[in-house]
């Protein structure tokens, strides 16, 4: 691992949350010479960052709210095999978020959000190159690209505008002929559908291991680990004071809030709540699928991904809106598996495990990577939604620059905490 710059070890930074975002922040901060303590109630990478689809989805730059999206939502909601679910008992509490989601769908907001997302995506691979090489984890990455599939030409034509935007932003895509598809993924059957090759995508074959290796690299260079839950954070002229559920108190010079979907619980103590919600996703991990895929396959029609991983085939997806503490509904994970079998007729569903995670989703689809509006020693890194795995290393670098009082490598104005009140 890269050695630390010992010039700044007088400054102590606490990172709350050990998902991909917190771990990348911690690693970068330690590399820059800060004394770092990471606090989480679960081990690094055991929350949402554990079970994602593993894709570095660099060309997915368009936001989830766009002009006309509200006309499509009822169709998704009333299709029992569709990708979107709402727990209606939790819906009243979600109305403010949905209101802001709808407001984010104007043409002007859409263009803003696309540009802001693309700026982060453009950095993603370079920043992964650096962190994977420094933490000796490049064996967890596959650079082969990914394939998006549509069940019909009509479905693809409906989305062609997204590809025009990707192209304008410099991302490559190519429709595959049936012959090419047969060679690349002989196990796949899409009938009269369309397959698109995204050459710039990469994927991780074990996302949880990736996070724990990055966190371990921080700890092996002197970073500290505390397994506990933060209950309160106070900021004053003297610094940061953190209390944990087990009764510990930690004092530091700065704090980074990287608590994923739970970040509002801390943000509201220091500043105020933002339109962040938990957009749940599920996976079924098939330990013995009986087939081997060379690429992640994204069903764009049905909203899920099939990714070949070290431990088998992961079928991941679904967008379920529910309260943070609502019980998982694993019928979603079972549905994903049945849908995967439609595309992969020879898929054997043996040794299957099921999982649910909570994507930290901002109403405008753009993460918060920012200094606090009110406290100079409080920093926020959350709300990466569907792309936290992709954007972890870039977020870690930006946060480290901010904590060090340096100008980040990219313009970060669009990711500011205060943007919903400007």
Ligand X SMILES: Cc1cc2nc3c(=O)[nH]c(=O)nc-3n(C[C@H](O)[C@H](O)[C@H](O)COP(=O)(O)OP(=O)(O)OC[C@H]3O[C@@H](n4cnc5c(N)ncnc54)[C@H](O)[C@@H]3O)c2cc1C
Torsion, Cα 404 409 414 416, to 10 degrees, reads -10
DSSP character for 37? E
What is the DSSP track for 335-376? HHHHHHHHH-TT---EEEEEEEEEEEEETTS--EEEE-SS-T
Q: State the minimum distance, in angstroms, from the CB of residue 291 to ligand X.
A: 20
Q: CB under 6 A: which stretch of 7-15, 28-36, 40-48, 188-196 binds ligand X?
A: 40-48
Could you tell me the end-to-end alpha-carbon distance of the chain, in angstroms, rounded to an integer?
41
Q: Where are the alpha helices (DSSP H) in 242-352?
A: 264-270, 331-343
Query: Is residue 18 near ligand X by the rule CB under 6 A?
Result: yes
Query: Is residue 59 near ligand X by the rule CB under 6 A?
Result: no
Q: Where are the alpha helices (DSSP H) in 9-106?
A: 20-31, 69-77, 91-103
Q: CB under 6 A: which stretch of 51-59, 138-146, 149-157, 403-411 binds ligand X?
A: 51-59
Query: Is residue 197 near ligand X by the rule CB under 6 A?
Result: no
For 367, what's the count of Cα atoms within 13 Å in the CB-facing half-sphere? 38
| Contact residue for ligand X among 55, 94, 125, 322 (CB under 6 A) | 55
Q: Could you tell me which of 407, 82, 53 has the C-alpha nearest to residue 202? A: 53
Angle at which helices 107-134 and 388-403 pack, to 10 degrees? Answer: 80
Query: Is residue 382 near ligand X by the rule CB under 6 A?
Result: yes
- Considering only residues 168 through 187, tell me which ones interact with ligand X, judged by CB under 6 A: none
Q: State the minimum distance, in angstroms, from the CB of residue 300 to ligand X.
A: 14
| Contact residue for ligand X among 389, 399, 403, 404 (CB under 6 A) | 389
Query: Is residue 166 near ligand X by the rule CB under 6 A?
Result: no
Tokens 């995967």, located at residue: 340
| Contact residue for ligand X among 54, 105, 308, 393 (CB under 6 A) | 54
| Contact residue for ligand X among 97, 163, 197, 262 (CB under 6 A) | 262
Are the beta carbons of 197 and 176 closer than 8 angstroms? yes
- Considering only residues 318 through 357, tell me which ones interact with ligand X, judged by CB under 6 A: 357
Residue 318 φ/ψ, nearest 5 degrees: 80, 140
Q: Which is nearer to ligand X, 24 or 195 (CB)?
A: 24
Q: Could you tell me which of 339, 333, 335 has the C-alpha nearest to residue 297? A: 339
Strand 174-175 with 194-198, pairing: antiparallel
Q: Which is nearer to ligand X, 33 or 64 (CB)?
A: 64
Distance CA 16, CA 336 (A): 32
Query: Is residue 52 near ligand X by the rule CB under 6 A?
Result: yes
Q: CB under 6 A: which stretch of 41-49, 151-159, 182-190, 267-275 binds ligand X?
A: 41-49
Query: Is residue 230 near ligand X by the rule CB under 6 A?
Result: yes
For 370, what's the count of Cα atoms within 13 Å in the CB-facing half-sphere? 20
| Contact residue for ligand X among 84, 194, 215, 258 (CB under 6 A) | 258
Are the beta carbons of 229 and 216 closer than 8 angstroms? no
Strand 174-175 with 146-150, pairing: unpaired
Query: Is residue 63 near ligand X by the rule CB under 6 A?
Result: no
Tokens 């990172």, located at residue: 15
Q: CB under 6 A: which stretch of 84-92, 189-197, 252-260, 405-413 binds ligand X?
A: 252-260
Longest dimension (CA), the chain: 66
Query: Is residue 393 near ligand X by the rule CB under 6 A?
Result: no
Q: Which is nearer to ligand X, 33 or 365 (CB)?
A: 365
| Contact residue for ligand X among 144, 229, 348, 419 (CB under 6 A) | 229
Distance CA 388, CA 393 (A): 9
Query: Is residue 116 near ligand X by the rule CB under 6 A?
Result: no
Q: State the minimum distance, in angstroms, from the CB of residue 153 to ligand X.
A: 26
| Contact residue for ligand X among 4, 11, 14, 19 (CB under 6 A) | 19
Tokens 């510990």, located at residue: 248
- Considering only residues 279 through 298, tell me which ones interact with ligand X, judged by CB under 6 A: 281, 283
| Contact residue for ligand X among 40, 271, 364, 414 (CB under 6 A) | 40
Query: Is residue 241 near ligand X by the rule CB under 6 A?
Result: no
Angle at which helices 20-31 and 107-134 pack, to 10 degrees? Answer: 60
Q: State the minimum distance, in angstroms, from the CB of residue 87 to ligand X.
A: 16
Q: Applying CB under 6 A, what is the total number of residues that bind ligand X?
A: 41
Q: State the minimum distance, in angstroms, from the CB of residue 52 to ligand X.
A: 3
Query: Is residue 308 near ligand X by the rule CB under 6 A?
Result: no
Positions touching ligand X (CB under 6 A) are: 16-22, 39-42, 47-49, 52-55, 57, 229-230, 258-260, 262, 265, 281, 283, 316-317, 357, 359-360, 382, 384-390
């Amino acid at each position: 691992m890269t050695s630390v710059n010992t010039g700044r070890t007088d400054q102590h930074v606490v990172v709350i949350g050990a998902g991909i975002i917190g771990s990348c922040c911690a690693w970068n901060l330690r590399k820059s010479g800060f004394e770092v303590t990471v606090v989480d109630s679960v081990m690094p990478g055991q929350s949402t960052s554990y079970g994602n689809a593993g894709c570095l989805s660099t060309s997915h730059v368009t936001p989830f709210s766009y002009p006309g999206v509200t006309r499509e939502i009822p169709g998704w909601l009333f299709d029992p095999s569709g990708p979107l679910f709402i727990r209606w008992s939790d819906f009243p509490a979600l109305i403010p978020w949905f209101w802001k989601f709808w407001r984010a769908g104007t043409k002007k907001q859409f263009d803003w959000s696309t540009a802001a997302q693309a700026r982060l995506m453009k950095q993603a691979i370079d920043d992964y190159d650096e962190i994977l090489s420094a933490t000796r984890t490049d064996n967890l990455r596959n650079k082969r690209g990914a394939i998006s599939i549509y069940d019909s030409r009509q479905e693809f034509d409906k989305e062609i505008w997204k590809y025009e935007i990707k192209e304008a932003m410099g991302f490559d895509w190519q429709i595959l002929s049936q012959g090419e598809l047969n060679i690349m993924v002989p196990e796949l059957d899409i009938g009269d559908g369309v397959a698109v090759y995204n050459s710039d995508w990469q994927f991780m074959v074990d996302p949880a291991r990736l996070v724990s290796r990055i966190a371990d690299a921080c700890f092996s260079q002197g970073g500290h680990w505390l397994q506990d839950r933060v209950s309160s954070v106070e900021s004053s002229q003297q610094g940061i004071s953190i209390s944990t559920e087990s009764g510990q108190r930690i004092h530091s010079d700065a704090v980074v809030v990287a608590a994923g979907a739970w970040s509002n619980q801390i943000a509201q103590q220091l500043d105020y709540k933002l339109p962040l919600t938990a957009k749940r996703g599920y996976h079924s991990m098939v330990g013995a699928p009986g087939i081997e895929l060379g690429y992640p396959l994204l069903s764009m029609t049905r909203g899920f991904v099939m990714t070949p991983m070290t431990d088998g085939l992961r079928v991941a997806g679904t967008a379920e809106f529910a309260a943070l503490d609502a019980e998982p509904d694993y019928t979603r994970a079972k549905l994903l598996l049945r849908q995967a079998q439609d595309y992969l007729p020879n898929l054997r569903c043996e040794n299957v495990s099921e999982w649910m995670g909570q994507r930290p989703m901002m109403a405008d689809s753009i993460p918060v990577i920012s200094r606090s509006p009110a406290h100079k020693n409080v920093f926020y890194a959350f709300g990466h939604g569907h792309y936290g795995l992709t954007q972890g290393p870039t977020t870690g670098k930006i946060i480290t620059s901010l904590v060090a009082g340096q100008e980040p490598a990219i313009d970060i104005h669009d990711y500011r905490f205060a943007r919903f009140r400007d």
